Every structure is written in C-alpha cells, then in structure tokens.
Structure 1
Amino acid sequence: MVNYLDKVVLLRCRGDFDETFRAGIDLLGGYEPRSPFVIKPNLCTGDDHTGCANVKLEVVESLVSYVLEQDPGAVIRIMESDSMSKYADKAFERYGYRAYAERLADEGASVELINLSKSPLTRFNFNGDYFKHPELPEALSSTGDIASIALAKTHSLTMVTGALKNMFGLLPRKDQAFYHSSIHEVILDLNLMFRSSLCIIDARMGLEGVISGTPKEVGCLILGTNPVSVDSTMARVMGFEPERIRHIVEASEHGLGSMDPKVLGDEVDALSVRFREPSGLKKSAVL
C-alpha cells in the first residue's frame, strides 16, 4: 500500500543537473538544512575509469549552493573515509573537491573536507545489532542534518548500493571488508546512528558493478528525506523488487522509510532500465 505521507521525487534528468535538482526540492516541498550540515558523497575509488563509480562534484555543488542560500552562515562538512580502493584525501584532490572547498573558503563560506580515517575516535552511546557502544570518528559526534549522495549501482553483497549502503563509508577503518560478513547489520546500525535527512541518487548514469562494470544510461534523479523510500524507488527503477533486498527490508522495519512511498514527478515505469543482478550475488543479500 502506498504511503502517501512518505514522498520521493523522481525526475528525468538529461540536461542541466542543478535545474533538475532545484525542481526536485520544490516538488518535495522544500528543505531546511540544520548546521553543521554533513554531506556524505559516495567516493569509492581513486580511479573511476567508468566515470560512473563516484559522485560527480556538480551534484555536491548544487546541494551546497542550495544550503548556503537557505543559511549563508551554515557550516558544511563533506566527509569520506579511506577504503581498500582509495585514500579519501587523494580522491578529494583528484575529483575536484579540494579545489572547490578552497574556492568557497576564499569566498567566505565555511566548507570543510573531512577524512574520517584521520579523525580522532570517540565512544558513541549506541547499542545496535552489530555495534555495541562503538568508537567512531569524533567528527560524527556533532552534526546537524546529514545528506547521503549516492549512485545507482549493483553490489554482490547487497544487490544494490544507494543511500543506505553509502553510510558504510562513514567507517574509518581502511580495510572495510572486515565488516562484510555482517554487512546488513552494519548498514542498519550506521543508518540508525547517523540518519540522513536528505537522500540523493544521481541516476543519470548507473553501473552494473561498484567500481568496474557496465555503465547503464538511466537518465534520472531521485531524492527524498528517508533512505529506505529513496533506495526502494531506485531499486524499482533498476528493475529490482525492494521487498527482496535484505538491507532495505530490515531498514524499513526500523523506521527508516517506506518501501512503497508516494512518487512525485515522473512514473517509475517510464524511467525503468533493467539492470542485471550482480555476478556472485550472495544469498544473504536477498530474502
């Protein structure tokens, strides 16, 4: 049954991204960011040879511009951590994030790039399915709103990777594969500890894969305020059933959104592009 109180915007996006993004925010009814405003873009590799694995800087630029229009004094923190396939600082440099942040700082804006793998750790009062009072980056202890910006991609451990899975990148440990055996519990705990209030999927291009794979032209933007709702819509656009995807179902059972939200803008069927299931898909990824 459609949850009419939970809304997701789905818009065709083959032209100007900023124009589409602002139209999406308007359809959503606006968005009032709380400072310090954290942006977690999906930067998963230091060598994005497909051009579809990392969030494009222009997506972050559109969001930052909007936030600063709403609150010119907002403190904005763009966060990523080291992982097996990249060093965050090098990714910030290579993909233009550092030059962008420095330019905004020169203009008087408070925009900071944070490598969570270099942040001091502090203990969080959280008792979840996996994490029991964990030590995590201190930079995460004082946040206002969090925006999760992801891409439409497949993943052998989780079927799809979107706004929910993107929060996995908050973990400071470089060998993040350490958590793979409990990835569903880890994703759930991270999203409960650090709930995103704005979720953006840049699905102009998708990827059958995480870093390497087959690019897929989708041509749309998905955004909303609940990660389950956004990821469920993304999954349907990709030709998958969110009701089969374990981490989405478990997150919905913990109040992180609806798997059947009201979709505003374009119809899912009009924009759906069938993705292949990831090779080596783990049985634990689906229900």
Structure 2
Amino acid sequence: MKKYLSYSNHDVAVIHDENESEAVLSGLKRLQVERDIKSDDVVVLTPNWVNNQKTNPSDGVVVGPETLRTIIKWVKARSPRRIIIATGAGSGNTKQVMEEVGFDLVIEEEQVEFIDFNTGPYVTLSLNHKKPNTIKVNKIINEMTYHISFTQLKTHEEATMSASIKNMALSWPTTEEHGSPKKNLGIHEELHGFIAAMAESIKIDLAIVSANPVMIGTGPTKGIDKHTGLIICGRNPIAVDSIGARLLGFMEQGIGYIHLLKNKGFKETDIKAIPMKGLSLVDAEKIFSEKVYGEKMILETV
C-alpha cells in the first residue's frame, strides 16, 4: 500500500497546568514550533465540534472557546496570509454548535475566517481504502499549507479512542455526502481503516490534544469528564495520539487505526522511541491516573 505522508519530527510535549491555555502555550514553546508558520501560509485550524448534545466545554465534548482563542492568537502572532477555523459537526448543525458554545464570538472578535466542512464547494479526495475509496472534502484542502487539529482526548465507543487523528478524519467529510451522523457510504463499516486512510491523505502539521478534561467511559458524548490539567501536543499526530492512547491504558495494538498506520510503515507508534518534552510519560501517567482514578498508576518504565 502507498504511504502518502511522512513525518520527520516525532517530539511530543506533555504539559501539566490547570489553565488549559497556559498548558498549550507552554507545550508549543517546548516544541519550538513558532517558526514553522510562514507569512505566506494558509493556516487551517480544525477544532472538535462533534455535536450540540452537550455544549459546555467542561463536559469534554467540544473544545474550550477560550483555548481556541489562545491558539488563534498564537497563530496570528506568526502573521500568516490566512487563518481559517474549519470543521464540520459529526451530527447536527455546525453553526448551531458554534453559536451555542460561543465559538462565533471568538471567530468574530479575532477576525479570522470560518468554513463549515459540511458545506461546499468540494473536491474529490482519493483514499487508500476500499469503502469509501473517495470522499468529497471542502476545496480549502488545495489551498491549506499548515493544518492544526485541536481536540479532547476521549475513549470512544466505536473508534476506541478519539484524539487528533480521529478529530481530523471525522471533521473533514461532509454531511451532505455522508449524512448526519456521518455514516452513509460506509465510513463506519470499516471505521479504523477509514481513519487510517484519512491520516495518510490529510496531513496534520500540529496536533493539540487536551486531557483537561479527558472523557472516559463512553465517548464521544456520553462519558464522564475528568480534569487532569494535561495537554499533549506535537508535530506528529501519530506520536501524539500514541501517547494519548497510553494514558488511557492502550498500547498501539489496542487502537485499530494506529495499529493500521504502523503496519503501513508509520513507525511513530513506538512510545519508547518518542522524544518527550516537558513531562516524562511516567510522570504524566501518575498525574493522569490520580486525577482520573484517584490513585497513581504507572504503566510504563521508559
């Protein structure tokens, strides 16, 4: 099978700060990503706005609007040519989620563009997958030069885990083609294969995953939110999500799409080989387990 993308920098920053925005900024500083965005870039920021069943960010269903503002301001300081907030709710109306949470005010006040992935115009994207082997996505994909995925860490009743890759893979397809929720044309029949194929086709240049809160139990909307104060970020979404999976208790074999990516040649799933910035994985596990389960637990000895 053809491997469409590659990642050269596997550093992952894990930061603990009860202030989510400060944790994100600290992680980005540790990674030294401030020079990655150039003046001619078209930056697309894809936040998780799954649906409007729960629109309080403290529930862990949608991202926090103030942290979204923080990331927008960080991008604006790099002076790219365009900044676009672009996403598509998995079910329901994207703009309704935007308005109920207050994302619309952030976008208006920060004077950035907004694109609803659930509306066109579209281009056709080929996938390294059987069903579907093509999907329609917004034409901004042909103009985008830098892509940020911002989401929460969750257990997920179908995908096992939701983090930066799952956020991207289910945000970009349009409900006009796949229905609401996005299950037409077979996306969910081989969901892990679909997510892996999307990861091969749409690059994430910066993955920001918040475990403040993390959702445990049954995600994406029915679980229990636990505030850990942890943020995971990096230039490599596969490495970032592999660390997130381990905090939830999974090896890469336990997350189907990550295991598929490993078998397709992406070796960034080896958590023992991922360079850590900020907290070590062991220290992150101690904080995570104590905040989530009430008792310190170490899964790794790296």
| TM-score class normalised by the smaller sequence | 0.7 to 0.9
RMSD between aligned residues = 2.3
CA distance in 2, matches of 1:45, 1:55: 11
Equivalence for 1:103: 109
Per-residue displacement from partner, 1:132-173 (whole Å, max 9, x unpaired)?
343322232221111111111001222111011101111102
Equivalence for 2:232: 222
Going from structure 1 to structure 2, the CA distance change for 1:120 and 1:23 (only over 3 Å counts) comes to same
CA distance in 1, matches of 2:162, 2:149: 12
Per-residue displacement from partner, 1:38-74 (whole Å, max 9, x unpaired)?
1111111213256211111122212111111111x53
For residue 140 of structure 2, give the secondary structure of its aligned residue in structure 1.
helix
Equivalence for 1:281: none
Q: Mind listing any 5+ residue stretches in structure 2 that lack a counterpart? A: 1-7, 294-302
251, 263, 281: which one aligns with 2:276: 263
64, 67, 70: which one aligns with 2:75: 67
Letter in 2 for 1:103: E
CA distance in 1, matches of 2:85, 2:166: 17
CA distance in 2, matches of 1:225, 1:255: 18
Identity rate of aligned residues, in percent? 19
Contact residue 116 and residue 137 of structure 1 kept, 8 A: yes
Q: Pick which of 92-101 and 131-140 moved more.
A: 131-140
Equivalence for 2:17: 13
Matched, 1:51 2:59: yes
Going from structure 1 to structure 2, the CA distance change for 1:82 and 1:201 (only over 3 Å counts) comes to closer
Matched, 1:38 2:44: yes
Q: TM-score, normalised by structure 2?
A: 0.80
CA distance in 2, matches of 1:133, 1:156: 25
Q: Mind listing any 5+ residue stretches in structure 1 that lack a counterpart? A: 106-110, 277-287
For residue 11 of structure 2, give the secondary structure of its aligned residue in structure 1.
strand
Going from structure 1 to structure 2, the CA distance change for 1:138 and 1:25 (only over 3 Å counts) comes to same
Letter in 1 for 2:128: G
Contact residue 11 and residue 20 of structure 1 kept, 8 A: yes
Q: TM-score, normalised by structure 1?
A: 0.84
Contact residue 6 and residue 257 of structure 1 kept, 8 A: no
Equivalence for 1:166: 167
Equivalence for 1:184: 192
Extract structure 1 runs of 4+ deviating beyond 4 A. Answer: none
